[in-house]
Structures are given as C-alpha cells and as structure tokens.
Structure 1
Amino acid sequence: MEYLSRDFVSSQNGQHILPQEPSSLPEKVLQFGTGVLLRGLPDLLIDEANRQGIFNGSIVVVKSTSSGDTAEFDQQDNLYTVCIRGVQDAARVEQNVVCSAISRVLTANTQWDEILACAKNPALEIVISNTTEVGIKLVKEDIHQTPPASFPGKLLAFLYARYQAFAGDPNKGLIITPTELIPDNGDKLERILLELAHLNNLEADFIDWMEQHNHCCNTLVDRIVPGKPAADVKADIETQLGYRDDLLIMSEVYALWAIEGDEYVKTRFPLHLAHEGVIIAPDINPYRELKLRILNGGHTFTCGLAYLCGLDTVVEGMNHPLFAHFIEHLLLDEIAPTIPQPLTQAEAQTFAKKVLDRFRNPFIEHKWLSITMQYSSKMQMRNVPTILRYYDSLGMVPEHMAFGFAAYLLFLRVVKTEEGRFYGQRNGVDYLIQDDQAAYFYTMWQNFSTRALVSAVLKNEDLWGTDLSLLNGFEEKVAFHLEAMKDRGVSRTLENFSHIAQAAQS
C-alpha cells in the first residue's frame, strides 16, 4: 500500500482535497513541538482556516527533543491524517481529514542555523508551542549555544535573531501562543523570557522591543487527542483510506483553543473566523471556568458514584439510563446555573451539552477509576466553589451535588491497608485508593458513625477551605444518601433517587 504523499493525493482525482502547495503559502507560523495535541488541534485549525482562504499560511515545526528524527514527516511530505471520532449533537461522527498545514520539520540539535534563519522571514507572525508543562521553566543558560537547551532559551535566541534581522522594527514582533497546560502560560513564559534576557546581558533596546512589540498570549486548549490507534484499528482505517500513514492520529470532535488577545491578535491570527472552537478574547478565564466547573467538576462529582455502580468507563455510564439521567441533570440543572458572568446561561448550557456529547464518545475509553486519583483535592478545587455558588444564587440544597458528595465519601471508605496502601471494595473486589487523604478517611471510617463522619468531614476547613456543615440542609442530605448507599447499595440508591427526582420534575 502506498504512503500518503502529495503525489498520491494528486493521483486520487480530488478524493483527498488539499489547499495550495506549501511552497505557495508563506511560512507564517513557527511551532515548537511535534506532539499529537499540536497536530490534532492548532495545526488542524490552521489547516481548516487555509482551506477557507482565511489564514493562508504554513507552519515550520521545530523538533526539540533528541529522540527520533523527521523521517516520517519527510516520507509523507509533512501530510498526516486526523481521524475525528465522537458524538456531536447526539449524532455519531466519523471523519478523516488530511492535514497539510506543515511546510517542513526541522531538528533543533542538527538544524539550529536553519531555524534561526526563519527569524529573517518577514511573513512570520505566530509562535506556537507545546513542550509539556515542564517546558516553561527558567534554565539559566547562554542563549548563544547551538541550540540552547530549554524551550524559553530557544525562543529567546530566535526573538533576538529576529530583532537583529529587522533592526528592531516594531512591526516585526510576533504573537506567541504557548499551549502548555498551565494557568497563565503566556504570562509565565514572558516573565521567563525577560529574566533570561537580563541574565544574558542582552541590550535594553531589545528587551524593550520584546516587551512592547511581541504578544505573549495566555491560552487554553481542550481536545482529547489519543494519538496513534492500536495496530489493528490503524490497519482497518488505512484499508478504508487506501494509503499508509505512519503519522495518523485519532481525535475527538470537540475542539477549544481560547487565546487571550485583542483586535490586533484577531486581525493577524483570524482562526476564529474559520472554526467556532477558536475564541480570541481579552479575558479567557470564563472559558477556563466553564471547563473546570462543568467538564472537570462533572467528572469529579460522578466518578465515585459511577465506579461503585459497577461502571468502569465514562461511555458505559452514558449508556446506563439512570446514571446518564443523573449526570445530565447535574450538569444542566445544578452546575451550569452557577457559572458566573460575563458568560450567559445560554453559553453555559451549550457548553454542558457539548460535555455530555464528549462523555458519550464510544471511541475513547476513559476509566472512572483513573478519574478518582487525588479525589479529595479535585473535589476541593473543582466542586466546593460550585456548591457555594449554588447556595449563594439559589439558597437551597443542590440535590445531585449532595448525592455525588455522598458517593465520594463511600468511595473513600477504606476496608484494607497493605504496605502503606489503602483499599476500598466494590462488589467484593478491592480497589486502590490513590488519594493523599486516604489515611485521614481510614481513621474517620474506623472511629465514627456515618452521620458523625459526615459532620466531621464537612466541618474540616483544612480539607475544604470552609465549613461546609454551615450550608443549610447539605449535611443532612449527604448523610441521608450515604446511609442509604451503605444499607441498600449504590445502584439501588441511585434508582430511588432518580425516581424521586423525576417525580419532582413532573
């Protein structure tokens, strides 16, 4: 079977439609990283904008790691397939897209001079990175090495080369969009660049140019990109496609790239005109809040419940009528109304429905047990503020949140310790509790009755940063549900809860 390439695509009579040849598209983007998230999100979004005639620019990719080479990219003319699989508006989606946004891939260790030469390109406008969370850190190094060791060192050397190439022209600054999954990633990167510039005794005029005429944007990315599928799945897909693709990756349907920027950023990087998943706004914190409270918080409120009901994966949960009903009402009726302005309720509801579609994705195996890791810290960070906001806005018990909290407490019921590890039990089978508070809950379950345990845990301000027992009716509801789960079993208690909730809504 032939490999995916430009010649192969040309021979297919338009079956795989591509935009212009890379040689006809100016290299507008410098990208640090070749990982699947970059290829499955920003690169694919740029490709889509090119197809629509909106951006019309290609990507020069810098491979920074010493492992591997660029042979796979070279062999396929930098083309690769993204297999988009999932659910959108309750409909199953299976789409294959050949991405042609990358013009070339250069290796930092052996082609650093060629990378620095890109700084002389007047068309260059954007920098993208994903060097993992540890990539954005200060390494005190000489940026004149070939190459510098760290990503900020490489980027600073590149910016300095550009400053010199254009004699400090204010119009030749770049828009820098790190996609590493840390809060305020752009602000943090900018601080490191400035400190590193001072450590290298770079001239004040350059530092002023870097600060005033380059834009380090905070960003938020959200898309599950599992990467290369299993060998048998890949072989089946390639048979359908009619070509081999060693760079083929899988991706879910949902895509979000929120970039903190002004009209200048919008004008130079107008991907928001090509895809609804790209948001360029002066403040992206509301979108981070949506993700944290609805997506992450929804997982945290329900992971223990799902697992104790005998459900192993998220999609199993969504195929279970009672559990699916529970999580839908949790997200739509209780969490979404707590999302603060400037987002509207309509936006929160729309996001919640997209989250439910993501949970229904049959192509991604997301295990509930893995979501329970550090359950207590996740509950504190993601869900306690949501509970408090619900009380502030509605002044009554959030029924589904209280039920989910009770399941959390039951999940952390330690039945066995062994070599410093703590275990719970589901249907007679032990499971490992991976939570820094496991020892605390072992003590609590050993020494307190159910109601006393609920009261003591909710009062523990070291855990929650507040006294949750002061919330009117919350302690009573949590204790009621926890006792029922212990006495009747979790599945039976969920069934009774669902019947009562449905009766109340009718």
Structure 2
Amino acid sequence: MPRPMRLNKATLATLPAAVARPAYDLDAVSTGIVHLGVGAFHRAHQAFYVDDLLALGHTDWAICGASLRSPDTSEALDPQDGLYTLAVRSGAGTDLRVIGSLRRLLVGARDPEALIAAMADPKVRIVTLTVTEKGYCHDPATGRLDEAHADIIADLATPERPRSVPGFLVEALLRRRAAGIAPFTVLCCDNLPANGRTVARVVHRFAELVDADLAAFIAAEVAFPCTMVDRIVPATTDADRADVARALGVEDAWPVMAEPFSQWVIEDRFPAGRPPFEAVGAQMVEDVVPFEHMKLRLLNGAHSTLAYLGYLAGHETISDTMSDPAFARLVERLQDEEVLPTVHVPGVDLPAYTRALRERFSNPALRHRTWQIAMDGSQKLPQRLLETIRDRLAAGASIDLLALGVAGWMRYVTGRDEKGGAIDVRDPHAARLRALADDAGLDAERLVEALLGVREVFGTDLPADPRLRAALVRALGALLKDGAAATVAAA
C-alpha cells in the first residue's frame, strides 16, 4: 500500500479551504533570524509571529532553525520543505494553519560549521533561542556560567567545533567581528530570570575564557534584550498526528498543538535592526522584568505545582488536575494569597490575569501532560517558586502553599510514586537527586535536609532559613503519610 502524500510545497494547493496557509511566496523570502532550539514551543510561538510578519511583506526575516543535538526536527520537516501545521485547540474546536517561516533547518551536532556560517551571515541580524533552562550551561541558583560543565570544557578546548549555546554564540560573534560584520542581537525566549541579562552574563564569561578582547567587544556591542513568552504547547502525540492528517488529507510528520492564547513581550533594544514585531501582536516595552515576574510566578509556578502534585495524585494532564475541585482551589489560593502580593505590573489587571490563567489550565482540548511539565525541575524551581518564597520570607509572610509545590518536587524526584511504581524523572541532576533520596529514605526531615543541600537549586540562603525548612518538612511529611490528593484537599 503506498504511503500517504506528505505536506510540502507541492501539496499545499490540495489542502482543504479551511486550512490557513502561508500568504506569501515561500521562495521569495530570505533569512534574517537564526533560531537555536527549534522545538515545539518555538514553532508554535516565535515562528508563528514571524509567519505573520512575512505575510505583511517583511520578507527578509525568515528563520533558519537549528537543533543543537537531535536531528529529529530536521528529519521530520526537511521532506516537508520546512512546512508544518499549527493546530490551535480550544473548547470550540481546532483551527489548522500551515506555517512557512522556517525556511532552513540545521543540526549543530551534525554540522557545527554550517550553523556557525549561518549565524555569521551579514543578512542575519537576530539570533533567537529556546533551548530550555538547562541549555545555557549555567548555575540556576546564581545565573553564572557553569565552568565545569562538560560542554563548556569541550568548547574551550575546540572552540571552532562548539556544542553549547555559549560556544556557538561566541564563535559566530568572533567570526563576524573578524570580517567587519556588525554583531547580531541575541534574543532569549526561555523562562530564565532576567533572561537577556542572564544569557549576556553567561556568554560574556565564556568569551572571557576564550579571548579578553572579544569579551570586551561583546560587552560593548552585543545587545541581549529581555523577553517574556507565553503559550501553552503540549507535546505532540501520535493521535495528534493522525487527527491532523485526517483534516489535511496529507501526512504531517510533526505538527504542533497550542492553545489560542499567545503573548510575547520584548525589550526594545535591537542595534542591528528588527522587524515590526508590534505589527503582529508582540508588546515592545522598556522593561520586561515586571511581565517576567508575572508569568514565571503566576503561570509557571502554578504549573509546576500542579505538575508535581497532580502527577503524584494520578492525574495525567493539567486539565485533568484542574477538574479536581481541591486542586483548582489550591491554585486559586496559591496565586491569590501567596504569589500576587509579590507581583507588580503597571497597567495590568492582575486578578483578571490569574482568573484567565486558571481558565487556560482547565482547557480540556489541550492534553498537556503533568509529566512533561515536571521535567528539569532542578532548573525551573529557582525562578518559578523559590524567588517568590524569598520575597515572602523577606516580608515575613506565609509560604505554606509555595512550600507544598516544592515538597511535591522533592517527593517526585525520589523516583517512586505513591503505589511504588517507577517515575521516569527527566532532569540534568536526576541521578544525584535519586541517590540523595535513596540515602535519606522516605523520612521527611532527612529528605528535606538532603535536597536542600543541592546548592544549584536552593543556593546558600534558603537552606539556612528555619521557616522554609519547617514548612517543607510539614508539607513533605503530609505527602509521604497521606498522599498528594489528601494533602491537597486538606490544604
């Protein structure tokens, strides 16, 4: 039996009329942006905005997307001429749109020289990044470069064949400087605190270890604007692929799913020029930090809390978790009582924002798995929950609900669920966390003591605060004794 036809330039014309498609000539655009970390979030977010820009006639801003390690995206989309489907799901149904802004795909591990050359191209004026928190080879507790990271050590030894984000950025900037080409702007779109400044710090330190003059050049000439990005993008399943194929009439190897809501707040610092992002719905501002705090603390902090506790209680997705009245009430109290007092954004109705977040979490059309959100917790906790805890402790305010979220992570990284089954903990420190948990056993005081000692997560200040320690012991003790569902109901 012949394989079904694939989505590509040749089959675009065969798609049903209800499927939106690129409103521009795919062969008439040129690359102005290189993106590192071309995963599902980028394809549902930044590439979606750029697709709109190209449709408005800003045709010199197409994207060259690069995966640093895995060839999966390239292998899925190269036979499709870079095209893929964005499926926007809500209770009202699903809207399908073919995105064409990714005009080239590279794999850094396979051909680092090709990626460096693309970044050094004079037509490229922006390099965007979604490599997740762990992709920056930094210490999440301090925001500094982890100079003992294996990729950093390797890149310092052979800078012309980089593996890490700092390695690729610095080598490309070095080549542009040598050729007399103005540097690109580095636009981080990951959930890091003060993400632009964090990436600038990491890149500058790496450059110092390579060449002091280059480091001075980067400090003086390269812009690292801060951003805030927001869109819920669940992992694509085989069922999603089948649904999209039925609707298109052709096969799409890797469509992406997303909610209707999307937000992009960008600090307006682009010395090399930029497209009119504001024309396609992005917010250009002088200071992103208030928006960043709003999103990291109210959305991401609640998301992580739901993920750990919901997974332990047996809920597969966030919407499943929110359908439990006790969890819905927990999130409402967490946001309104403990997080909102730490967030201040001029001109934003924060109570309305939190209500909208809870509606988004409850969207039954999005199968956003608790296990997916629970990944890489050691990298996420500092900015999602611990910074809020620091502010609450400084104010002498309660942290019981925030501590319950952290205790959920502590229970999760033991690697065993409440029925004794194995948890597939995906985290850069998974083996270390599991060893600490095994040594401590299922004893709340010993487990809290052991995990608070992970300086990369908790720093040195939080472990010394008896208020946090006591709150964690209480919450973790309840989780171990009564289970997540009963503990959340009691809370």
TM-score after normalising by structure 1 = 0.68
1:228 equivalenced with 2:242 (yes/no): no
Hey, what does 1:177 align to over in structure 2? 187
Q: Cα deviations across residues 398-453 of structure 1 (Å, max 9, x unaligned)?
A: 7xx7578689889999xxxxxx969786xxx557898968987955689xxxxxxx
Task: Say whether 1:338 aligns with 2:341.
Answer: yes
State the aligned residue count. 441
Q: Which residue of 1 aligns with 2:34?
A: 30
Query: Which structure 2 residues correspond to residues 61-210 of structure 1 after superposition, within 5 A?
Result: 61-65=65-69, 67=71, 70-86=74-90, 92=92, 94-108=94-108, 109-110=110-111, 112=113, 116=117, 119-121=120-122, 123-132=123-132, 133-136=134-137, 138=152, 139-143=155-159, 145=160, 147-165=161-179, 167=180, 172-191=182-201, 193-194=203-204, 197=207, 201=211, 204=213, 209-210=217-218
Contact 1:337 1:390 (C-alpha < 8 Å) held by counterparts: no
Residue in structure 2 matched with residue 502 of structure 1 by the alignment:
none
- Unmatched segments (≥5 aa) in structure 1: 393-397, 414-419, 447-460, 498-506
How far does the alpha carbon of each residue in 1:171-206 deviate from its partner, in whole angstroms, 9 at most, with x for none? x3311113355445544544454455555558x4x6
The CA distance in 1 between the partners of 2:486 and 2:201, in whole Å, is: 51
1:103-502 alignment runs, 5 A limit: 103-108=103-108, 109-110=110-111, 112=113, 116=117, 119-121=120-122, 123-132=123-132, 133-136=134-137, 138=152, 139-143=155-159, 145=160, 147-165=161-179, 167=180, 172-191=182-201, 193-194=203-204, 197=207, 201=211, 204=213, 209-230=217-238, 232-262=239-269, 268-275=274-281, 278-299=282-303, 313-321=317-325, 323-331=327-335, 333-335=336-338, 337-341=340-344, 343-344=345-346, 346-362=348-364, 363-367=366-370, 381=386, 384-385=389-390, 387-388=392-393, 429=419, 466-468=465-467, 494=489
Shift of the 175–197 alpha-carbon distance from structure 1 to 2, 3 Å rule, reads same
Taking the aligned partners of 1:491 and 1:338, their CA distance within structure 2 comes to: 27
1:5 corresponds to: 8
Measured against aligned partners, the alpha-carbon deviations of 1:463-496 in whole angstroms (never above 9, x if no partner) come to 6654549x9xx99xx99xx99xx99x9769949x
Q: Deviations over 1:285-341 (max 9, x none)?
A: 32332233322433566678767877564322322345434533543x424540343
Q: Is the 8 A contact 2:74 2:106 kept in 1?
A: yes
Q: 1:155 to 1:262 in 2, by over 3 A?
A: closer
Q: Is the CA contact (8 Å cut-off) linking 1:46 and 1:55 kept in structure 2?
A: no
Matches of 2:312 and 2:442 in 1, distance apart? 18
* Amino acid of the structure 1 residue aligned with 2:184: L
Q: Is the 8 A contact 1:55 1:270 kept in 2?
A: no
Question: Residues of 2 paired with 1:120 and 1:421: CA distance?
Answer: 47
Cα separation, 1, equivalents of 2:406 and 2:74: 47
Cα 1:493–1:32, aligned 2, differ >3 Å: closer, same or farther?
closer
Residue ranges of structure 2 left out of the alignment (5+ in a row): 138-150, 424-432, 447-459
Contact 2:84 2:99 (8 Å CA) reproduced? yes
Residues 1:258 and 1:389: Cα distance change in structure 2 (over 3 Å): farther
Quickly say closer, same or farther: Cα 1:244–1:304, change in 2 above 3 A. Answer: closer
The CA distance in 1 between the partners of 2:246 and 2:356, in whole Å, is 31
How far apart are residue 67 of structure 1 and its match?
4.6
> Larger Rg: 1 or 2?
1
Q: TM-score, normalised by structure 2?
A: 0.69
